[in-house]
Structure 1
Amino acid sequence: MGNREDLLAGAKRCLYEKGYARTTARDIATASGVSLAAIGYHYRSKEALMNAALHQAMEEWGEEIERAFTTGAVAGATPAERFAAAWDRVIESFTTHRPLWVTQFEIIAQTDHLPEVRELLAAGVDAARLGLAELFQSILDTGEEKEEQAAVGAFYQVMLTGVLGQWLVAPERAPSGRDLAVALRAVAANIAPAVGPDQAGQDGDGHA
């Protein structure tokens, strides 16, 4: 690799090992084996380099989730079984890639003080939601319309963040894929049937 690529790899290593805010330019230079001056030459600033490393890490997060959702599917499984198995693989990825997931939470917690990072994360929200919706459509053979995909993706994004947060605090108490399937079925049963557009805003007697 050239100096530019070495710097990016070193910055990403520091991102995982030291976190975004605690990484110094000297840390990156040491990790990459490149001079401090090269950071300014190739990226203009440490912040720009760290943002590039964060962008690459975000892409890897997405790829990791996609692999977890789409590998190891069991032929003939029911939608509930496929749902549970997919989440079990996601949870397993938390173990094998813990530094990656810890870093994600650390960065989210610091966004109030890092406006550029906030913008970078926010820019990927819509794409992440649509990506999650598409992944689950392929697993569960669902047929949501395009206008529903963002809402469905946001729901799975909330689930993903919540499960990850519980796992980081107490892995042995975090829900399993089967737990999530059971819970989702119960919640869906409690709110069914869905309220149609003509019923919105009406009370239990059918009056507005």
Structure 2
Amino acid sequence: MSHRDNLLRAARSCLLDKGYAQVTVRDLVASSGANLASISYHFGSKDQLLTRALLDLNAEWGTELFAALGSEETLPDVERWARIISSIEANRPLWFVNFESIGYVEREPEIRALNARGQAESRLALAQAFGGLGADADPAEIHAVGSHYYSLLTGLAVQILTDPAAAPTAEEIVRADSHPRTTATSS
């Protein structure tokens, strides 16, 4: 395995074990067996290495999750949400690192781009899974439907990470999402 591959493997492990802010160059060098200069040579900086590793971790998680959700139109929404909940619970360290990385978007364009790309991919996949919208659907509709379900997904993740006992169940999410809305009337 090359120094570059060893560094990526080490960065992934360190991110999940320590979180974004706590990973040091020493951690990466010790875990990878590579030398300090390899980080700059292959990635430019520690932050760029960590961002690349986080991008890879998220891509793998997204592929696994959306494969589990499937494109089956007959899969009930309760089952889809149950699979999402299971995936969040099984990948808690990754979710913590993702939420931690949001603090870096203001000053790190590469991390901002990572987040933006991940959100766009998630909106499309969620619009397909829950709204039955294909990639050829109206982009505005994909954005609206995907954003709705992405908001539910990230809000659910926050609740699972911070207060798992009070986080909603799949049944509660579906019940609330299909609850009839009332409109306020003015007198």
Question: How does the TM-score come out when normalised to structure 1?
Answer: 0.77
1:190 maps to which of 159, 166, 181: 181
Separation in 2 of the partners of 1:66 and 1:191? Answer: 33
CA distance in 1, matches of 2:120, 2:103: 20
Structure 1 residue 151, shift from structure 2 partner: 0.6
1:181 aligns to 2:178 (yes or no): no
Q: Confirm whether residue 34 of structure 1 aligns to residue 34 of structure 2.
A: yes
Match of 1:168 among 161, 168, 172: 161
Q: Secondary structure of 2:106's partner?
A: helix
- 1:6-21 equivalences in 2 (<5 Å): 6-21=6-21
Return 15-24 or 142-151, whichever deviates more: 142-151
In structure 2, what is the equivalent of residue 128 of structure 1?
Answer: 122
CA deviations over 1:77-106 (Å, ceiling 9, x no partner): 6x7xx1011101111112222111111111
Equivalent pairs, count:
183
Over the residues paired in the alignment, what is the CA RMSD in angstroms?
2.6
> Is the Cα–Cα contact under 8 Å of residues 19 and 96 in structure 2 kept in the other structure?
no
The more displaced of 53-62 and 165-174 is 53-62
Give, in angstroms, the shift of residue 191 of structure 1.
5.4
Output the CA distance in 2 between the equivalents of 1:48 and 1:99. 20
Report the equivalent of 2:49: 49
Question: Could you tell me which residue of structure 2 aligns to residue 198 of structure 1?
Answer: none
Q: CA deviation at 1:159?
A: 0.2
Answer whether contact 1:68 1:93 (CA < 8 A) is retained: no
Aligned mates of 1:31, 1:190 — CA distance in 2: 53
For each residue in 1:131-176, what CA deviation from the matched residue of structure 2 results, as whole angstroms up to 9, or x when unmatched? 2211224xxx568942311110000100000011011111111111
- Is the CA contact (8 Å cut-off) linking 2:7 and 2:39 kept in structure 1? yes
Q: State the one-letter code of the partner of 2:42.
A: H
User: How many Å apart are 1:45 and its aligned residue?
Assistant: 2.0
Counterpart mapping for 1:63-102 below 5 A: 63-70=63-70, 82-102=76-96
Among residues 136, 146, 149, which one is paired with 1:153 in the alignment? 146
Partners of 2:133 and 2:17 in 1: how far apart? 39
Query: Structure 2: which 5+ runs fail to align?
Result: none
User: Which residue identity does 1:114 align to in structure 2?
Assistant: E
Q: Distance in 1 between matches of 2:162 and 2:143?
A: 29
Determine the structure 2 residue equivalent to 1:200: none
Query: Does structure 2 retain, via aligned residues, the 8 Å contact 1:19–1:106?
Result: yes
Distance in 2, matches of 1:191 and 1:181, equals 17
Aligned-partner Cα distance in 2 for 1:15–1:45 = 15
Contact 2:48 2:110 in 1 (8 A): no
Give the TM-score normalised by the residue count of structure 2: 0.85
The 8 Å contact of residues 89 and 160 in structure 2, kept in 1 or not, is answered as no
User: Which ranges in structure 1 are unaligned for 5 or more consecutive residues?
Assistant: 193-202
